[in-house]
Structure 1
Amino acid sequence: MENLNIGEKLRLLRKTVPLTTKELAERVNVSQSYISRFENNRAIPDVDMLAKILEALGTDLTSFFSHDVNELTDDYIQLINTAKTLSREERIKLNEFLKVMKGSYQ
């Protein structure tokens, strides 16, 4: 799969949080159109702005560039968002179930 550019990676990461462009813009104290320009690859954020955006998304520059967001398909994003709504006990049970499904349960 082709590597995603910064704008696409930002959009996918924002959706996993999940936040709208308006909510992210408010957290970073910029306009919504400013965030949209980055996500639509009409502008590239400088390092300081990218660091602020990533902090608002709960990550950092190192993680952003080392994490493979190519795997963040719609179904994966939906799974992440669902898992975020679960209690600790429910997440433990979900992990056990996923291990059984994958065949790696020990």
Structure 2
Amino acid sequence: MEADFISERIAKLRNEKNISARDMSLSLGQSQSYINNIENKKALPSMQMFLYICEYLGVEPKDFFDEDITDPSKLNEAVEAFKSLSPKQLDLLIALAKEIK
């Protein structure tokens, strides 16, 4: 996997949430240019910071690397909501999703 992917994925997920790089950096307890440096490919986050970034963005680390998931935080939100549904309700939602697709 290319290092560019991490930079680009962070930028994409951050922009989808309408969060500025400065606000995200400061919220993570870093300098105001921290996320900018990552997105501009000047640095990569440590593993610990990567996990903090994922948590901040509401993304599971495994979903971060899945390019087919366009909005990982929405997918996780849906999965959490689906956990309390009955099997019949889940079947209906699956049928609806297939129909929409």
Q: Give the TM-score of the pair, scaled to structure 1.
A: 0.58
Q: Specify the code of the residue in structure 1 equivalent to 2:29.
A: N
1:30 alignment partner in structure 2: 30
Q: 1:1-106 residue pairs with structure 2 within 5 A?
A: 5-68=5-68, 104=99
Cα shift readout 1:3-43 (whole Å, capped 9, x = no counterpart): x6110110000011120011111221111211111011111
Q: Structure 1: state its 5+ residue gaps.
A: 73-79, 81-98
Q: Which of the pair has the greater relative contact order for Cα pairs under 8 Å at 6+ separation?
A: 1
Work out the percentage of aligned pairs sharing the same amino acid. Answer: 29
> Residue 60 of structure 1: CA displacement?
2.4
Aligned length: 72
Q: Structure 2: state its 5+ residue gaps.
A: 75-95
Stretches of 4+ aligned residues off by more than 4 angstroms: none
RMSD (Å) for aligned C-alpha atoms: 2.4
> Residue 66 of structure 1: CA displacement?
2.0
Q: Give the TM-score of the pair, scaled to structure 2.
A: 0.60
